[in-house]
Structure 1
Amino acid sequence: MEGSSLRAVGWARSLPLNSEVKAARDWAREHLEARGWTSTAPQTVDAVLLTVSELVTNAHRHARSSAQLVMMCDDRCLHVSVHDRSGDLPVPRAAGTESLGGRGMLLVDAMADTWESHPCPHGKSVSACFRAPDAGTPEGDAPAPHQ
């Protein structure tokens, strides 16, 4: 829309390889509480926190790098992005029934309204979008398919 502007707020945090994923979840929860999401959209908060856990864990475990966690909220969505130093893009895959891991991106795919990954200088970024509690979906404006 010509002449319109987007109002957004964002936060960023670096999580070194030796940091605990709980620190990322606690940090994200603080910002969601400040936005009122814990009372207006507790299920979405749970989905966001699970996604933060999975994306930061993937950065630490698979990329063996620190994780740069960014959350940005506009009038329509909360965008959660994690950048790491690996250029290998994540792919949801079925994990064996005996496997303890391997389900992270399947969980992100199930929890987020949309998600995507893309290579960038010095690694990749994986982003998930969660519809804001008051941002209903007008008819014909369905979320984009998962990528």
Structure 2
Amino acid sequence: MTITASPSAPGVTRLALELPWDARSPAIARRAAARWLESAAYPRTADAVLIVSELVTNVVRHTRGPCRLALTEDGAYLDIAVTDDSEDMPDVHQPTDFGRPGGFGLKIMHHLGDSVRVVPRIGGKTVHVTLRVPVPPHDRRRPHEGPGAP
């Protein structure tokens, strides 16, 4: 397991974590993500950690290889990305079958995330879930209060 936390560009922070194909990987990913997000005082830590858990659990359940977790925050959005070595694409629009175990992860990601997308690549794919960072109430402006307003 390798953890890298670094600024990627001005105003952008990133956590990258290489995880083995192991039943303990979702717990490791949850702990690392929670520590990183809490240290940055990210306001939607619980939502983000649940999404991380679901994405990494899906890799352990549906693939046979390691994965890479990357969290990238730019002040407006948090991108949660998990890359694996399976070219099998999840059906992100498949309805949940309540008669079978599992199948709720994508529903959770769609409910909590502002966008969910799967990016195929040769030898695997990356699943991205993006969360909008809430603007603190004291930073909100009404449209007529913007720069140059009378």
Larger Rg: 2
Alpha-carbon deviation of 1:6?
5.7
Q: Is the 8 A contact 1:90 1:105 kept in 2?
A: no
Corresponding residue for residue 88 of structure 2: 88
* TM-aligned CA deviation for residue 64 of structure 1: 2.1
Identify the residue that residue 56 of structure 2 maps to in structure 1: 56
Is 1:126 matched up with 2:131?
Answer: no
TM-aligned CA deviation for residue 36 of structure 1: 0.7
Q: Percentage identity across aligned positions?
A: 29
- How far off its partner does 1:63 sit? 1.8
- Comparing both structures, which one devotes a greater share of its residues to strand? 2
- Give, as a single letter, the amino acid of the residue that structure 1 aligns with 2:122: P
1:13 aligns with 2:13: no
Query: In structure 2, what is the Cα distance between the partners aligned to 1:19 and 1:13?
Result: 16
TM-score (norm 2): 0.77
Q: How many angstroms apart in 1 are the aligned matches of 2:60 and 2:23?
A: 9
Higher RCO (C-alpha under 8 Å, 6+ residues apart): 1
Runs of 4+ more than 4 Å apart: none
Query: TM-score when scaled to structure 1?
Result: 0.79
Number of aligned pairs? 129
Separation in 1, partners of 2:116, 2:96: 20
CA contact (8 A) 2:19 2:67 kept: yes
Q: Which runs of 5+ in 2 are unaligned?
A: 1-8, 144-150
Secondary structure of the corresponding residue to residue 54 of structure 2: helix
Q: Does 1:24 align with 2:29?
A: yes
One-letter code aligned to 1:125: T
RMSD over equivalenced CA pairs, Å? 2.0
CA contact (8 A) 1:15 1:68 kept: yes
Asked if 1 retains the 8 angstrom alpha-carbon contact of 2:96 and 2:107, the reply is: no
1:67-95: CA deviation from partner (whole Å, max 9, x where unpaired): 10000110210111000011122223233
Structure 1 regions of 5+ residues with no counterpart? 140-147
